[in-house]
């Protein structure tokens, strides 16, 4: 565990580079990106940057009959935002491949995507550098966030070690509920669990200047949680991009498709036609 002043790892231009803005949500052109996959096989990218946050912003023009790659390719495509598959710290060994949906810590950038894991601040430093460079090139950053479950519970969970039996949904006998299909479900109906999610989102929005969030298994969330997110985040960033999956991993759906109606600038996937 490291206590850090994140302002001390800000890249040059962090306080002067403006984030791209949207006039309306339908102007967004999203491009889904897995940080590792985006550059790990890009021969034009320096080897030490392949598969990392810095690999996202490596630029290479088309030449010799080969197409552009990296940041140049994103600009050529005309995207307005990259949707980063989960970069919240997830359970994976050094350089072990993972999609990122096995979240361990909500507020920490994944270290496997840094060029070095020896310095605990390197992931924060390089993620900020990547975001600043994307912003400088008029590309927004949307984080795929997984607040519906964690990779561990009990003695291996910082939540359970803080307040046992509070942060996860349980049956009357104390056993974990499995609304997500992966063994546990974050109990956002409980006030401090809900506050933790909102505070975490504000952390990424303010300390890392991300431009939006895509919520995994949003159907597990309580409507009050979604309303709280809108209430707290929209005054900070009026053009923030907010959307998610209105389904669960098998448990009851609390925020179904259509529940977003009436909520300012909140959007949901449609996995089938209109009801």
- pLDDT per residue over 114-129, tens digit each? 999 899 999 999 999 9
pLDDT of residue 228: 97
**Mean pLDDT, range 133-144, rounded to an integer:** 98
The percentage of residues in the chain with a pLDDT greater than 70, rounded to a whole number, is 99
Please check whether residue 146 is in contact with residue 182, taking contact to mean a CB–CB distance below 8 angstroms: no
For the entire predicted model, the pTM comes to 0.95
Q: Which residues are catalytic?
A: 216, 245
Beta strands in the chain (DSSP E): 30-33, 59-60, 69, 81-84, 140-145, 212-215, 241-244, 266-268
pLDDT of residue 146: 98
| Residue 25 predicted with pLDDT over 90 | no
Please check whether residue 70 is in contact with residue 40, taking contact to mean a CB–CB distance below 8 angstroms: no
Beta strands in 169-240 (DSSP E): 212-215
Q: Which residue is associated with the tokens 């990547």? A: 130
pLDDT of residue 237: 95
Nearest to 244 by CA among 146, 120, 129, 175: 146
Residue 1: which pLDDT band, with cuts at 50, 70 and 90? confident
Kindly report the average pLDDT of the chain as a whole number. Answer: 95
- pLDDT per residue over 203-223, tens digit each? 999 999 999 999 999 999 999
pLDDT of residue 117: 87
pLDDT of residue 262: 87
Paired tokens of 183? 């063994």
């Amino acid at each position: 565990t490291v206590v850090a002043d994140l302002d001390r790892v800000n890249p040059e231009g962090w306080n002067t580079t403006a984030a791209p803005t949207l006039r309306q949500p339908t102007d967004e052109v999203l491009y889904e990106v897995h940080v590792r996959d985006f550059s790990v096989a890009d021969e034009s990218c320096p080897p030490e940057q392949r598969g990392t946050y810095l690999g996202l912003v490596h630029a290479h023009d088309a030449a010799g009959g080969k197409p552009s790659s990296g940041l140049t390719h994103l600009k050529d495509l005309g995207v307005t935002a990259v949707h980063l598959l989960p970069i919240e710290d997830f359970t994976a060994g050094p350089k072990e491949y993972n999609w990122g949906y096995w979240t361990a810590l909500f507020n920490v950038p994944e270290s496997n995507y840094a060029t070095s894991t020896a310095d605990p601040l390197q992931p924060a430093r390089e993620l900020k550098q990547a975001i600043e460079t994307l912003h400088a090139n008029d590309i927004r950053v949307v984080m795929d966030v997984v607040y519906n479950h964690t990779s561990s519970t009990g003695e291996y969970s910082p939540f359970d070690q803080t307040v046992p039996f509070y942060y996860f949904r349980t049956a009357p006998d104390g056993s974990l509920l499995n609304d997500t299909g992966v063994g546990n479900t974050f109990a956002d109906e409980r006030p401090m669990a809900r506050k933790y999610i909102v505070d975490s989102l504000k952390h990424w929005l303010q300390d890392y200047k991300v431009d939006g969030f895509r919520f995994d298994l949003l159907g597990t969330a309580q409507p009050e949680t979604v309303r709280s997110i809108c209430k707290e985040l929209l005054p900070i960033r009026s053009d923030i991009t907010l959307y998610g999956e209105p389904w669960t991993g098998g448990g009851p759906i609390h925020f179904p498709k259509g529940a977003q109606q009436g909520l300012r600038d909140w959007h949901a996937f449609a996995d089938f036609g209109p009801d």
